[in-house]
Structure 1
Amino acid sequence: MDKAQQERHDRLIEQMRRILGSEICAVFDDPNAVEIMLNDDGKVLVERHGSGITHLTNLPVSKTLNFLSLMADYRGTTVTREKPVVEGAMPDEFLRARFAGAIPPLMTQPTFCIRLPARKVFTLDNYVDKGIINTAQHASIIQAVIEHKNILVSGSTGSGKTTLVNAILHAISERAGLNERLVLIQDTAELQCSAPNTSSMLTYEDSGFDYTKLLKLTLRYRPDRIIVGEVRDGAALALLKAWNTGHPGELATLHANNPQAALLRLDQLCQEAGVPPQKELIREAVHLVIQIQRDTDHPAGRRITAIEEIREGAEPSPWKRPQTRLAKIRARRL
């Protein structure tokens, strides 16, 4: 970046900070903060680990529109009535947080949602202390890590999938030496890994480097474990193929409401790549599905509802209605 470009970038960052104000900007320095949400009533809400969602301040429509225009400028695009959405990673000064915003007529008023990258790692021991998992579930996850099982973490938006993956990554990192190489693929830098032999890749879809291309590139980076931030679209097929090429001990997240739905959705995503159902490939690749969900009645705001071991066998279908019980570890033959 030359001097003129740097000056222009600095002005943009200063304008962004002035619009957001000190209260919102301070959230980016809070390691417990997870999400910043602006609703169409102008309320700015913040979700933090351990304290749920609180009302922070209000942001006028005019400031929101200006901020969305600045974000669009940073992303090299525009936001108009004909193109009412702007999304992507924010500047480094805002932690490359994941941003999505929209204006009328798509919304009644301009809104945005900012997903902050994890800066504080909660270990699996912390999960036990907070009652999110019990000791048997803790032992099951640790054993899966030791045995290099492929783990799929499933849950709804905001359920805590990434935080749980970081806890599992912490368990992996504690046991990994230089001889175990981890390659991470993600949209934004949300995964935290302290393993001594780690390489991290970020998607750059503006240049065509999406999950599918990075997964293929990953195989040339001598991975022992391949960690994916989120499985989506036809990249699921490339993920499963990568998991089945002699790289056990993988980890990924997926949006789904229960372990069975996770396997179904994984199959549906594979079919988006133009292939027939991939039940056999899924049975070979996925060893463990961990389901996490939000729970306002739980002191931690979320809980693990199922840990299912996926075993190969004669029965060809995991696509059955779930009959899981809370906090009970069980195996289902596929």
Structure 2
Amino acid sequence: MRRILGEPICAVFEDPQAVEIMLNDDGRVLVERHGEGITELTMMPPQKALNFLALMADYRQTVVGRERPVVEGAMPPEFRRSRFAGCIPPLTPMPTFSIRLPTTKIFSLDDYERVGILTSEQKARLVAAIEQRRNILVSGGTGSGKTTLLNALSDHIARISGLDQRVVIIEDTREIVCQAPNTVQMLTDLDAGIDMTRLLKLTLRYRPDRILVGEVRDGAALALLKAWNTGHPGGLATLHANNPEAALIRLDQLCQEAGVPSQQELIREAVDMVVQIERDSKCPAGRRISHVIQFDKGE
């Protein structure tokens, strides 16, 4: 894999500022870095890209071809178990892939304030919500920085947590970093039939105080809301949505994928705050917190 990728691409895996490596169908390899945006790195011929996808498929114990043109999953430990997604023709004109690198440097809420991603007033509201054990949903578009923001929130959880506060983290690929002293991290294994819903149910037997979920994508949203709403406040999760209102609508839609009717009442009970992060080229850091909405529960 290293031979096919070449030294310039392999070096990106050691760069703490790197966020994502992308191969487009024109052969250009692009890299996104914190605070720098996207830059062109090198070129990769189609045959090399195809060979790399074949190796990734073999590592994932599957195959890639016309009948199965998509490869997804975590990369080997030598590549920091980065999240890989790639496809070949006929889905794209030429082989393409996207590699999401796990965080090596945790940006604190103080860092977010210092670079102008959030205001001091927004930071104060987030800190208060964490310390008051509110359930926080981080919403944003693709590449907006949802997971990095969730890590900043989990960093504050770690700062105020002792052994008496057990944090359970559930993800498809390992991206959340939480240095709290009493932490358990779980990963789904779809090949073994272990999805996020099953892990959320298992989590309840692990005596969790806070439940953190990397990204809510399907009917597991229902299990998450039930867990948050049954004596496990103070959780964090991310969700793809363009604004806070759309986030709550999408959350309801995901719940309905579990075969239940609208769960608006459960959402109102379980979700205390929605934080919206978005790309903004006018901001020095390229991102900003556009909304911090806390819901009045009549307390």
Q: What residue number does 2:132 align with?
A: 147
Question: Is residue 77 of structure 2 the alignment partner of residue 92 of structure 1?
Answer: yes
Deviation at 1:145, TM superposition (A): 0.6
Q: Which runs of 5+ in 2 are unaligned?
A: none
1 or 2 for the larger relative contact order (CA 8 Å, sep ≥6)? Answer: 2
Contact 1:237 1:269 in 2 (8 A): yes
Secondary structure class of the residue paired with 2:102: coil
Deviation at 1:312, TM superposition (A): 3.4
Secondary structure class of the residue paired with 2:2: helix
Q: What residue number does 1:194 align with?
A: 179
Deviation at 1:188, TM superposition (A): 1.3
Q: What residue number does 2:61 align with?
A: 76
Query: Which runs of 4 or more aligned residues in structure 1 lie more than 6 Å from their structure 2 counterparts after TM superposition?
Result: none
Deviation at 1:42, TM superposition (A): 0.3
In the aligned structure 1, how far is the partner of 2:274 from the partner of 2:83? 26
Question: Is residue 271 of structure 2 the alignment partner of residue 266 of structure 1?
Answer: no
- Structure 1 length-normalised TM: 0.88
Match of 2:109 among 105, 108, 124: 124
Give 2:7's aligned amino acid.
Answer: S
Contact 1:283 1:311 in 2 (8 A): no
Match of 1:158 among 136, 143, 146: 143
- Structure 2 length-normalised TM: 0.99
Identical aligned residues as a percent: 68
Q: State the number of aligned residues.
A: 298
Deviation string 1:5-41 (CA, Å, 9 cap, x unpaired) is xxxxxxxxxxx00000011001111111100000001
In the aligned structure 1, how far is the partner of 2:175 from the partner of 2:15? 15
Secondary structure class of the residue paired with 2:290: strand
Secondary structure class of the residue paired with 1:114: strand
Q: What residue number does 2:32 align with?
A: 47
Question: Is residue 283 of structure 2 the alignment partner of residue 298 of structure 1?
Answer: yes
Give 1:122's aligned amino acid.
Answer: F
In the aligned structure 2, how far is the partner of 1:210 from the partner of 1:301? 34
Deviation string 1:163-182 (CA, Å, 9 cap, x unpaired) is 00000001110000010000
RMSD (Å) for aligned C-alpha atoms: 0.7
In the aligned structure 2, how far is the partner of 1:245 from the partner of 1:30? 41
Question: Is residue 161 of structure 2 the alignment partner of residue 210 of structure 1?
Answer: no
Secondary structure class of the residue paired with 2:6: helix
Give 2:131's aligned amino acid.
Answer: I
In the aligned structure 2, how far is the partner of 1:26 from the partner of 1:202? 27
Contact 1:183 1:201 in 2 (8 A): yes
Between stretches 278-287 and 78-87, larger displacement belongs to 78-87
In the aligned structure 2, how far is the partner of 1:90 from the partner of 1:288? 34
In the aligned structure 1, how far is the partner of 2:205 from the partner of 2:7? 45
Give 1:135's aligned amino acid.
Answer: S
Secondary structure class of the residue paired with 1:120: coil
Deviation at 1:295, TM superposition (A): 1.1
1:305-316 aligned within 5 A:
305-312=290-297
Deviation at 1:245, TM superposition (A): 1.1
Deviation string 1:53-98 (CA, Å, 9 cap, x unpaired) is 1100000011000000000111111111121111111111111111
Give 1:219's aligned amino acid.
Answer: L
Give 1:32's aligned amino acid.
Answer: Q
Q: What residue number does 1:252 align with?
A: 237
In the aligned structure 2, how far is the partner of 1:280 from the partner of 1:34? 37
In the aligned structure 1, how far is the partner of 2:230 from the partner of 2:75? 35
Match of 2:218 among 227, 233, 243: 233
Contact 1:153 1:289 in 2 (8 A): yes
In the aligned structure 1, how far is the partner of 2:280 from the partner of 2:99? 22
